[in-house]
Amino acid sequence: LTGVPREHRVYQYVLAHAIPGDPRHLLHTFDRWSRRCEHLSCVGPVKGRIVERLVAERAPRRVLELGTYCGYGTVLLAQGLAPGARLYTVEGNPEHAAVAEKVIRLAGFDEQMVELIVGPSAEVIPQLRSKHGLPQADFIFMDHWKKFYLRDLQLLESHQLLAPGATIVADNVLFPGAPHFLQYAKSCGRFQCRLHRASLEY
């Protein structure tokens, strides 16, 4: 009714209520908005704890996120990285990317730690090494359009962007679902697969 996109509304709320430079408080502020005001397609706190645990276990140096949206997942990933680690996050929607950029910087992460790349993943992935300096990723978080999961995984493989022993975390593979991605990951013989069951966000 206001004509202001939902993503801008949540950013104004976060700007007014979150503590700048405090990633955890910023995420809690997002969660409060999503529970009380409007649903956002963010990872949320339940699945977020799974992602946090995996990042802590793997201690990745080069992280790739596909699907930045408002920056919730980016902040979640970045807060768990060791000094010197770098996160590349890819968002195809320029309006969402503009909000995410402000959220990421508000959380306290500069461009040396988190690089936001705007463009379709199918165009960005082949350029990650030559244009953005990512030789290989050892942790990949997929949370963009589910129909692109398989295509983008195969792009990462064909451009040799998966480090040996890389971890790939893909959200929402059961609902709304990414059946072709799951079938490929289980049957191609190159991956060990594990499903983490969790409730939907919020």
Annotated catalytic residues are 143, 146, 171-172, 201
Backbone angles phi, psi at 6, to 5 degrees: -55, -40
The amino acid present at 27, given as its one-letter code, is: L
CB 76 within 8 A of CB 105: no
β-bridge partners, 88: 64, 115
> Per-residue b/e over 127-140, b at no fewer than 16 CB within 10 Å?
ebeeeeebebbbbb
Q: What's the helix, strand, coil split of the chain in %, to 5?
A: 50, 15, 35
DSSP 126: G
